[in-house]
Every structure is written in structure tokens, then in C-alpha cells.
Chains A and B, each alone.
Chain A
Amino acid sequence: MKLRFIEIKMKKRGEKPTFMLSVIIRLLSLAMGLGVVAALFLLQGVNPLLLYFNIFRVAFFTQYGLAETLSRMIPLLCIGIGLSVPFRAKIDNIGAEGQFLVGAIAAAGVAFSFPDLPAVLLIPLMFAAGFALGALWAIPVAIFRVMGKFKGADVVLSFLMVFPAYLLIVYLVNGPWKDPEGWGFTQSPLFPVNSQIWQLPGTRIHLTILLVLALTFLIHYYLVRTKEGIPETKLGYEINVVGENPEAGAAAGINFLKIALITMIISGGMAGLAGVGEVAGNLLRLRPEISTGLGFTGIVVAWLGGLNPLGIILSSLFFAGLLAGGVEIQMAGLPVTVIDLFNGSILFFVLLAEFFMRFKIEWRILK
């Protein structure tokens, strides 16, 4: 880009930043995001340090808040870890929200169809159905990413597929699955007892947390684990190669469509599982507003975690804490939408960090 006095050039970085450097860049970007939001708080006459302290205190150091944080972490971790897989292959699935919603629909469908099955059969069946429907919702994204005639087909399609999923829930809870005792509210009846996932008494932390942690470990073990910087499994290696350079991948005989399908099935399926857990373990009803944007927050979780399972566990904990402690934002007299602004600002800076890890900016003054 050439301006009158200055020339700015975007250059690809020669070598990848080291692990330490990438962690530092991410933390710095997070700090910058928090700084920008702090400036907005200041403009509203709210002391940002006090507010951050209160959010942190409520989210992690009160019994109420910690239980809520862990409960919010379940879907965020599940979605975030799933999204990290196609992100590694440079497939932009931003529609985890829709895959989450169809997962919830699948759970409700199975629960209402077989209410008399014992829980040990019914709950696994719900998870299987949620994974399957979530994956099904994601498969077209993979196909369009590979076969699509324009760049970004995956972004457009995955995003647009959120809306039919949402409208399908609106239809179901106003029509066939409407709660006959709901006084006209748009909700399904309570899930049958056998389909409710066990909760830690007095909290909303449900057993799905164990499943999610186990799957996180499996994804680490089979797709991410590296030895001297090179993934130890063939599939993990292929995903990385495709992500770094699809042409090189093709030259090396890696089928991009196969990788795209596998990664998107994992991602959509994980988002679907999160949907099952959320309705069967937490909300116990299907409603149009079950998600509150968890699928979109999951994108931030995945990137802030550096697409690395351990990092994603930490970043999901961070964002879950933000959701749980976010009530303090309201107590400070700010509107509830500030919580969205918060997430958005941090996503912006985290993505900026990704950019700076891949490119560097060179500039010189023109004479």
C-alpha cells in the first residue's frame, strides 16, 4: 500500500514464531482487548480495575460463581476443541452455533421418542444422535470449502446454516413439541427423567464434563500430539500440511476433501454433543434461546487457546468465567449487551494476534 509519505508492506514471516513467543503474543493481545474494554468502562464512569476484580472474584472465588463457571465451561470447551480441528486445516467453520442447535434438537427428538428407555441406553443414544446431526449439518461446509468456486465459501455457508437450525427449533417448540402445559410459552415439555444427565447437587455442573474432557484428550492424542514439532499421527500430520499449504498437500498425495470431511465431522459432531449436554444436562427443555451465542464464543475460545487442547481448556475457563462473572458488569450499571461487546473486542484482538504471527508489517518513509 502506497500513501503520499509512507509505504506500508505486508510480509509473510519467514519462520513460525516459537511456542513461547506465540503464548506471549496471545496474552498481549488479550491484555490489549481488556485494555480497550477498560477504556470503554472508563468512559462510562466505571472503574475498570474494580470491575475486572469483581468479575474475577465472582467467577472463581464464590461458590455460586465457580459452579456457574464450570457449568458454562462444558459447552464452550466442547465447541472450542471441536472447532480447533478444522481451523488447523484452515477450514473456517463459523457455524458451530447451528451445529450446536441441531445437536439439541437431536437430543430432544430421541428423548421424546423413547422416554421409557433406561438412562444408560437413552443418554448415550442422545449423544450419538446429537453428534450425527451436528456432523450432518457440517458436512456441506466441507464440500463447499473444497469444491466451492470462491474463497470463503465455507465461511458463508457455515454461517448461513445457523439460521435454519434456529428456525427449526422455533417451529418445533411452537408446533409438534410445544409444551401442552406451557401456557403458550415457546418451549418443549421438560425432558423425561431418564434422559436428564446427572448434575452435581446444588449446581448445574453435569456429567457431560467428563465426556468432554475425555474427548479433549482423544483429540490431543490422535490429532495434535507432536514429537519434535511434527505430529505423531498420520492424520494429525496431514491436517497440519493441508492447513499450511494445500498445494503442497495435494502434491504429497493428501486428499483435501477427505481431510475437510473428517475435520468438519469432528467439529460439527462436537458442537452437536455440546448441544445435547446443554439441553439434557442443564436446561432440561428445548427453547429457541438455548444457546445465547455459545457457538460464536467457541470460535474465540479456539483461537485464544492457540488451537491447542491445553490452551483451549484454559481459554474456555476464561470465557466461562466471563459469562458467569458478567453479572457484575450489570451491577456496575452497564447494559447487558456490554458482555457481547467484551467478547467481540477480545475476538478482534485475538484474531489480530494470529495475523501478526503470520505476517509482519514493514514500512518506510518516502522522500
Chain B
Amino acid sequence: MSEKIYGLNTVLVLAVVFIIVGAGIGYGVSWAVGPGAVSPTDLGTLKAGFIYVGPIGDFGWSHAHDQGRQFVDDRYDWLETVYLESVPLDQTGNRIDYLINEQGCDVVFTTSYGYMDATIEAGGDHPDKMFFHCSGYKRAANVGTYFADFYQLYYLNGLMAGALTKSGKIGYVAAFPIPELIRHINAFELGAQEVNSSVTCEVKWLLTEWYDPVAARTAAESLIAAGCDMLAFTEDSPTVLQVAEENEGVYAFSHYSPMQSYAPTSCISGQLADWGVMYEDILQKIYLGQYDNTNLADVDYLWLMKEGGVELGGLFDVPINTLFIDDLDAINVTDPILGELSVYDLVMKRIDQMTDINVVFEPFTGPIYDQADMLMIEAGERATTFELLTITWFVKGVIGDPTP
């Protein structure tokens, strides 16, 4: 009996000693290492805040981001999301503070290029939180960047526009002359030139808002009056498509959201983004502790066709409106490498090449000349990611000065 008690006592004493020693070692280690990386996963839940530049009902950029937010929010119980829409650029810092201080967000996504400096500043003000800025190039220990870019899709749209244009003039309604739009306009024109070297692309600048259906209508109508019969655009409403649908012989490409239903007989193709998969990737990595507030300085997502962040079409899973497939199949072009083939086959081939793991085709491959006939990209060379993200010059064949 007493031996048994003795044995039990030994076990208890040993347990207490181990606990004390273990706690001491643990404390000592944590003291020596200092406060570790803060991971919100300790709490078991994650709260993400989103800041949008336009209204979520714009059916363009902000709408697409919000679709992505809802996708991840519905999918994971551990995730809570909140958003603020139509946040003016100069209110960014203030709204980030609100999301963190009042809403308790662990991570904030700022979804406009113009939010770049404010996001970096907020990263300094809130070193224990995480930030992700969409479409910028500045990062910090707790600020990462992410983007799904459309330039490959605009190039593919350009191939179709260049083949189908009757007047040899294609048009582009553009909100602001920022690098993203300049890149897209250039890609659109490069695609068109590949199948029809004399095509010019006329650009009308809105310079007002990202969401401005009234100005977009005026711009589209003036492009049509100038003879353009193929229209692409970057403005966050389906207005340009509606204008194309109203005008006989004018066709357009959907932008950002599946807008083909607004112009069933005039929408040839378009560009679609799926932000949900990217938000899922980022938030899961945060949840699992792979990303924290100390290691984001090199986290830079740039998802193109290969990663599945973007896809061709005016409707999901419909890369080309079926009404136009026969027309594209009937036009033949000669490619120096691929030989003679139809434009439809060329588009499909380019999709394969750009979704290939090695991306065997890049639209911005030299020689590419700017409007002043200066050689900007040497023959055989590809533009770097940084060059593309900060591009400020237009390729030869683009008409339209953004200065009023």
C-alpha cells in the first residue's frame, strides 16, 4: 500500500518538476527570441477586410473582386469578411484604420492601383497586421501584392478584332492612362496587327471615373462615328457593349465580368477574372501560418492565363461567342512559325501556348516600336514583368493622346 503511494507521489513530483522546468525553458526561449510572428490562426479565425474603388454593383472590377470575396467567405467557416465600396483614394488610410481598429480585421485587401502608397503607409502604422495591395509593385514585410492581369486576353481579343474589322479601325474606351490600361491597349493593338498589319487603334479617354456609363456611351459613339467597328474598353459598366448592340456592324469585347448577355449578337469575346481562386490561395496560406506579418516582402502574385486567374470570353466557359466562330474560321493568316492557319485556330493555338507551363508565347516580344517609331523592345526579347507593370508608352498604331 505505502509503496504504491510512494510510487504515485514520485510520479506527481516528477510531473510538477517537468512542468516547472518546461515552462521555464519555454519562457526563456520566448524571452530570448522576442515576440514571435503574430499569426491570427492562434485565434482559430481570420477576419479579412476589402476596400473597393467602385460600387460592387458596377458589374466590372469591383464586382469581380466582390464575387471573389463572397466565394471564399462562403467556403470557409474560419473566415469572416467585410468590405467598403466606393472608397475615394484620399480616404484610403482612414478606411484602413477603421477596418483594423473598429472591425478588428487581421488582413486588409486594397483593390486599386491608386491605393498603393496608402497601403504601404498603413503597413507601417499597423506592423502586426497584414495587407495585400492589388496591381501595385511596392511591398513591405507585412504588405504583399497580387494581380490577375488581362493583357494576354486583350491580345487574343485583338487577334479577333484585327481579323473581323471591315474598316481597319478598332477603338478603345479607356478610363485613365495608367500602366494597366496602356498595357491592355497595346496588347489589343499588337494582336490586331498580327493578323492585319495596317489596323490602327483609336483610344477615347474618359478621365473622370472608373464607373461612368454616360461618358462611356459618348466615347463609344464618337469612336463609331470615326469609323471604328471593333470596340474594347476599360470602364466598369457594360455600356460600350450596349452601344455596340445598338449599332449595326459594330462589335465589342466584354470586360471583367460575364457581360455577353448585354450584347448577345455583338459581343465577340472578352476578358474574365476569377479572383476567388487567388483570394482562396492567399487566405489559406495566412490561415495555415505560411504567410504572416514578417514575410510578405517577396509575396507577389501575378496570375495570368497559366495560373487560371483569368480566362477568355464574355461568359465563363465560352471563350468565343459561337456566332463568330464560323467567320473566324473562314479567315486565313500566315504565321512565320505556325504556317497558314485560320484565325480561330490561331487563337486556340495561342491559348494553348500561353496556358503552357513554360508560357511559350508572349505578346510583348520584340521588335516593338512606340508611337514615335522608337524601338522599345529589342527583336526576340520579352518585356519583363516590371516593365509591363510600369509601362507608360504606346505601341505604334495606337492613336489618342490622354492629355485633354
Give residues in A with beta carbon < 8 Å to B: 58, 62-65, 68, 170-171, 174-175, 178, 183-187, 204, 282-283, 285, 287-290, 292, 327, 330-331, 335-337
Contact status of A204 and B392, CB under 8 A, knowing A183-B179, A289-B88, A335-B85: no
Complex contact B88–A292 (CB within 8 A)? yes
Output the least CB separation between A195 and chain B (Å): 17
Contacts of A283 in B (CB 8 A): 90
Q: CB < 8 Å: which of B83, B88, B90, B176 contacts A184?
A: B176
Q: Give the docked Cα–Cα distance between A186 and B175 (Å).
A: 10
Complex contact B88–A331 (CB within 8 A)? no
**B34 interfacial by beta-carbon distance below 8 Å:** no
**B182 interfacial by beta-carbon distance below 8 Å:** yes
Q: Give the docked Cα–Cα distance between A174 and B205 (Å).
A: 11
**B80 interfacial by beta-carbon distance below 8 Å:** no
Annotate B70-109 by CB proximity to A: 1 below 8 A, 0 otherwise.
0000000000001111101110001101100111000000
Counting from the closest, the 5 A-B pairs by CB-CB distance are A184-B177, A184-B178, A336-B86, A283-B90, A174-B404
Show 13 A/B contacts (Cβ-Cβ < 8 Å), sorted by A: A62-B101, A170-B208, A170-B404, A174-B403, A175-B403, A178-B403, A184-B176, A184-B182, A204-B94, A285-B90, A287-B90, A327-B95, A335-B57
Complex contact B98–A64 (CB within 8 A)? yes
Q: Give the docked Cα–Cα distance between A233 and B57 (Å).
A: 54
Complex contact B392–A331 (CB within 8 A)? no
Contacts of A288 in B (CB 8 A): 208
Output the least CB separation between B103 and chain A (Å): 7
**B402 interfacial by beta-carbon distance below 8 Å:** yes
Q: CB < 8 Å: which of A187, A331, A335 contacts B82?
A: A331
Q: Give the docked Cα–Cα distance between A285 and B114 (Å).
A: 13
Give residues in B with beta carbon < 8 Å to A: 55-57, 82-86, 88-90, 94-95, 97-98, 101-103, 113-114, 176-179, 181-182, 207-209, 390, 392, 402-404
Complex contact B57–A186 (CB within 8 A)? no
Complex contact B102–A58 (CB within 8 A)? yes
Most buried by B among A185, A186, A331: A186
Q: Give the docked Cα–Cα distance between A178 and B176 (Å).
A: 12
Most buried by B among A62, A175, A183, A336: A183
Contacts of A335 in B (CB 8 A): 55-57, 85
Q: A186's closest neighbor in chain B, by CB?
A: B207
Q: Give the docked Cα–Cα distance between A169 and B82 (Å).
A: 34
Contacts of A290 in B (CB 8 A): 90
Contacts of A64 in B (CB 8 A): 94, 97-98, 101-102
Contact status of A183 and B88, CB under 8 A, knowing A64-B97, A174-B404, A336-B55: no
